[in-house]
Chain A
Amino acid sequence: MSERPAGKLKKWKGIAVSPGIVIGKARLVDRSRVKILYQYLIGEHQVIKEVDRFKEALEAAKQQINDIKNKMPDQLKKHAFIMDTHLMIMEDSMFSTASINTILQEKINAEWALKKSVQDIETLFTQIEDPYIKERIVDVQYVAERVLRNLGGKEQESLSEINERVIIVAHELSPGDTSSINIGKIMGFITDVGGRTSHAAIMAQSLKIPAVVGLENVTQHVQEGCLLIVDGGTGEVMIHPDDDLIIQYQERQLRQEKFDSSILRMGHLPAETTDGHRIAVRANIEFLEEVTAAKDHGAEGIGLYRTEFLYLRGPRVPTEEELFEDYKQVAEIIAPNPVTIRTMDMGGDRFSSDLSLGKQPNPALGLRAIRFCLREPKIFKTQLRAILRASVFGKVQIMFPMISGLQEVLDTRRILQEVMEELDRGGLPFDRNIKAGIMIEVPSAVAVADILAKHTDFFSIGTNDLIQYALAIDRGNEHVAFMYQPFHPAILRMIRQVVEVAKAAGIKVALCGEMAGDPLCTFILVALGVNELSLNPGGIPMIKKIIRSISMEKAKGDLEEIFRQQTASAVLELVKQKVESLIPDVDKQFLLANGG
C-alpha cells in the first residue's frame, strides 16, 4: 500500500443513492468545460479546411454516440432514446448547418462557430415556458461538448475504455457516461452534483453499484489514483484512509456482503411462519424506477406507492396523462402482484392555484392529504382518473391518506364514484372491482375504526404519523425526538385495536410505516395478525427471513407478555430478549445495530 499517493485522511458526507461499500483507487473523469479560443481564418483555403475539420469532429461524435448506444448493457436499453435525441441534435440544421455557415461567412474557427450556434439555441430555449422542453438544452450542451473535444483533438474519455477496477470521481455524469459504464470494472462512483432522483443515481441503482452524489467539491480534493472508501449506504466518502480504517471497512464490507447474499438468495421464498401463516411482504416506493429493485428483493407487490414526487417535480400540476403513464408502468411491471397507490399526501401550499394557503403555521395538522384533495376536487379527480385508468394494466388498489373520520370516507367514495361514472361516459376502461382503502394514521381513525371498516375495502396502518400524532411528538424536534417510541404500549394497543376491528369486519389490514421494516417489531406484528407488511425494498429479504423463523403460536404467547409491560422501555427490553430466542440464526450484531 506504500505506492498510493500520501495524504491526509479526509471525510465527506453526501447523498447516498445506491448502497454498498467499496474500497478502491480513484479515477478522475474530466468533464469540465472545454476552453474555446477565438481564431480568425485567413484565406479561402483555410476556411474550407476548417469546415472539413468541423464535419469530421461531428461525424466522430456521431460515431461515438452510436458506439455507446450499441454497447449499452441490456438493463439500460430502455434509456437508449436519449442517444437518439443526441444524434438528431447533431444532425439538426441549427446545430450543424448553422455552425458551418458561420465558419464560411465570418471566417472563424470551428470551435467558436459551434459555441455561437449553441448560444443561439440557448437564447431560443430561454423563451420556452414549458420547463420540460426548456430542460432539453442540457442535451444540446452535452453534444456540443463532445464535438468540441473532438475538435481539440482531445481524447474523448469514455467510461467504457476504463479497464481496471476503479471508483469514478466526476463533477457530474451524463446519461451518455453512465450508459457506457463497463459494469465489471467500475466499482462505484461519486459526484459533486446530483440528487436522489438524478439520472446517475437511478442508473447506479439499476446497475447495483455503490454511489454517493451531491458531494459539492469532492473532485477538487481527490487526486488520480488515491485510495477511496465509499459507503453508498450512508453517503460517507473517505480519501487517504489509514490502514486501521481500511481494515475496519473491509470487515464491514465482508460482513455486509455475506449477510446480503445469504438473505437475498432467500428473498423470493414466501414469508410464511413455521406453522403455516402467510404474510404478504410488499415494498414502499416513491419512484417508478424502484419497482425493479422491489421485485429483485422479493416484494410481493407494492404496498405503498407514494405519489407526491410528480407533483413536487415541476412548477405545474402534472396532467392526467403524465400520472396515468407513470401508474400504468408501475402496475404493468409489478403485475400479477398488486400495487397500492396512495393519493397524494401533501400540503396545499405546493399548489399555486390558491396562494392564500401560503405557509401554514402547523403543516402536520394543516390542510394536507385527503383534506386538501376534498377541498380541491379538480386536482383530486385528475389523480383518481389516472389511477383508475391504470387499473386495467395490472392489479391496482387505491389508498386515501390522513382519514380522521367517517365523513371524509363518504365524501371520498362519492368523488371516486363520480370519477368512475365520468370514465364510463367517456368510454374509458377501468377495473370496476378496484379496492379502495384508507390509511389509519390519525388517532381518531383508530377510535372509530369499527365505523370506518364498514365503508372501506382495507386498512393500512401508517405508524410513522400515528406515533407522532398519538404521542404528540415531533420527530424533527431534537428535544423530544427520543420520546418517539414505536414500542409505547399506547401504540401497540392502537395497532391491536385496528387489527381486531378489521378481522371482525372481514377486511385486510396492512402496516406500512417504519415499524414494518424494523426486525424487532416483526414478531409482534405477525402475532397481532397484520396481513401485510410494506417496507423499503432493501429490508424485505431480512423481514421475510425473520417471518419464516417465527412460530405463530409461540409469538402469540410472547405477545401476551409484551402487552403486560407498562412502559416503552420495558417493552423494548423484552422484545430484544424475544427476538434473540426467536431467530437465533440471524447475525444479531448486525440486526440489532440496524433495528435497535
Chain B
Amino acid sequence: MELVKKLRIENELGLHARAAAKIVALAGQYKASLFLKKEEQEVEGSSILSILTLACPRGTELVARATGEDSEMLLSALSSLFEQKFGEGK
C-alpha cells in the first residue's frame, strides 16, 4: 500500500537536527518505509542526514510518501508530529 500526504512545516526553527531526529525515530516504529519530498528532491525518512540536507525552513511544503502495510498509521502519526510542531510549542 502506498499513501501520499502533503505536510507543511509550521515550527519556527524549521527542520533542524532535533526535529529531524524525531521524524527518524517515528519512522522507525512502523513497518512501512517513509520518504519525504521537497520540490524535486526525495529522501528516505529513516536518514537523519538526508532530512537535514533538505534544509527546510518554516513554511516549507513537503510531500510524505509511505509504502507498506501500516502506511496509514505512519502518515497520521507523522502529520500529528508536524501539527504539534515537533513538540516545540510553536
Contact of A357 with B by CB under 8 A:
no
The 0/1 profile, CB within 8 Å of B marked 1, for residues 78-97 of chain A is 00010011001101111100
Contact of B11 with A by CB under 8 A:
yes
Given A84-B21, A85-B21, verify A130-B14 contact (CB < 8 Å).
yes
Contact of A128 with B by CB under 8 A:
yes
Residues in B neighbouring A482, C-beta threshold 8 A: none
Residues in B neighbouring A365, C-beta threshold 8 A: none
Q: CB distance A121 to B88 under 8 Å? A: no
Given A133-B17, A319-B12, verify A128-B55 contact (CB < 8 Å).
yes
Min CB distance A326 to B, Å, is 12
> How many angstroms between the C-alpha atoms of A93 and B34 in the bound complex?
13
> How many angstroms between the C-alpha atoms of A223 and B17 in the bound complex?
39
Q: CB distance B55 to A133 under 8 Å? A: yes
Q: CB distance B49 to A132 under 8 Å? A: no
Q: What is the count of residue pairs linking A and B with beta-carbon distances less than 8 angstroms?
A: 63
Of the candidates B13, B21, B25, B49, the one whose C-beta lies within 8 Å of that of A322 is B13
Contact of B84 with A by CB under 8 A:
no
> How many angstroms between the C-alpha atoms of A140 and B53 in the bound complex?
13
> How many angstroms between the C-alpha atoms of A124 and B46 in the bound complex?
17
Residues in A neighbouring B79, C-beta threshold 8 A: none
Q: CB-nearest residue of chain B relative to A94?
A: B49
Residues in A neighbouring B89, C-beta threshold 8 A: 321, 325
The 0/1 profile, CB within 8 Å of A marked 1, for residues 6-28 of chain B is 00000111101110010011000
Of the candidates B21, B25, B44, B49, the one whose C-beta lies within 8 Å of that of A140 is B49
Given A84-B21, A130-B57, A133-B55, verify A89-B49 contact (CB < 8 Å).
yes
Contact of A320 with B by CB under 8 A:
yes
> How many angstroms between the C-alpha atoms of A129 and B53 in the bound complex?
10
Q: CB distance A85 to B55 under 8 Å? A: no
Residues in B neighbouring A132, C-beta threshold 8 A: 16-17
Q: CB distance A321 to B53 under 8 Å? A: no
Min CB distance A96 to B, Å, is 10
Given A93-B47, A128-B53, verify A88-B13 contact (CB < 8 Å).
no
Contact of A125 with B by CB under 8 A:
yes
Q: CB-nearest residue of chain B relative to A133?
A: B52
Of the candidates B12, B14, B46, B52, the one whose C-beta lies within 8 Å of that of A136 is B52
Residues in A neighbouring B50, C-beta threshold 8 A: 92-94
Interface size class of A (residues with CB under 8 A): 20 to 34
Q: CB distance B55 to A130 under 8 Å? A: yes
Residues in B neighbouring A320, C-beta threshold 8 A: 12
The 0/1 profile, CB within 8 Å of A marked 1, for residues 48-71 of chain B is 111011010100000000000000
The 0/1 profile, CB within 8 Å of B marked 1, for residues 97-124 of chain A is 0000000000000000000000001001
Residues in B neighbouring A93, C-beta threshold 8 A: 44, 46-47, 50
Q: CB distance A81 to B18 under 8 Å? A: yes
Q: CB distance A94 to B47 under 8 Å? A: yes
Residues in B neighbouring A125, C-beta threshold 8 A: 52-53
Q: CB distance B12 to A129 under 8 Å? A: no
Min CB distance B63 to A, Å, is 20
Q: CB distance A321 to B55 under 8 Å? A: no
Of the candidates B14, B16, B48, the one whose C-beta lies within 8 Å of that of A92 is B48
Q: CB-nearest residue of chain A relative to B46?
A: A93
Q: CB-nearest residue of chain B relative to A81?
A: B18
> How many angstroms between the C-alpha atoms of A140 and B47 in the bound complex?
13
Min CB distance B24 to A, Å, is 5
> How many angstroms between the C-alpha atoms of A85 and B50 in the bound complex?
13
Min CB distance B26 to A, Å, is 12
Of the candidates B24, B25, B52, B90, the one whose C-beta lies within 8 Å of that of A321 is B90
The 0/1 profile, CB within 8 Å of B marked 1, for residues 198-212 of chain A is 000000000000000
Q: CB-nearest residue of chain B relative to A124?
A: B53
Residues in A neighbouring B44, C-beta threshold 8 A: 93
The 0/1 profile, CB within 8 Å of B marked 1, for residues 317-351 of chain A is 00111101100000000000000000000000000
Residues in B neighbouring A121, C-beta threshold 8 A: 49
> How many angstroms between the C-alpha atoms of A132 and B12 in the bound complex?
14
The 0/1 profile, CB within 8 Å of B marked 1, for residues 248-281 of chain A is 0000000000000000000000000000000000
Residues in A neighbouring B48, C-beta threshold 8 A: 85, 88-89, 92
Q: CB distance A319 to B49 under 8 Å? A: no
> How many angstroms between the C-alpha atoms of A572 and B53 in the bound complex?
61
Residues in B neighbouring A85, C-beta threshold 8 A: 17, 21, 48
Q: CB distance A128 to B16 under 8 Å? A: no
> How many angstroms between the C-alpha atoms of A325 and B12 in the bound complex?
11
Residue positions of B touching A, CB distance < 8 A: 11-14, 16-18, 21, 24-25, 44, 46-50, 52-53, 55, 57, 88-90
Task: Give 9 A-B pairs besides A88-B24, A322-B13 with Cβ atoms closer than 8 angstroms.
Answer: A85-B48, A89-B49, A92-B47, A93-B50, A94-B47, A132-B17, A133-B16, A321-B89, A325-B88
Query: Which 4 pairs across A and B sit closest by C-beta, in order of nearness?
Result: A321-B12, A88-B48, A94-B49, A124-B53
Report 21 cross-chain contacts, Cβ distance below 8 Å, ordered by A residue.
A85-B17, A89-B49, A92-B46, A92-B47, A92-B50, A93-B50, A95-B49, A124-B49, A124-B53, A125-B53, A128-B55, A129-B55, A130-B14, A133-B17, A133-B55, A136-B52, A319-B13, A321-B88, A321-B90, A322-B13, A324-B90
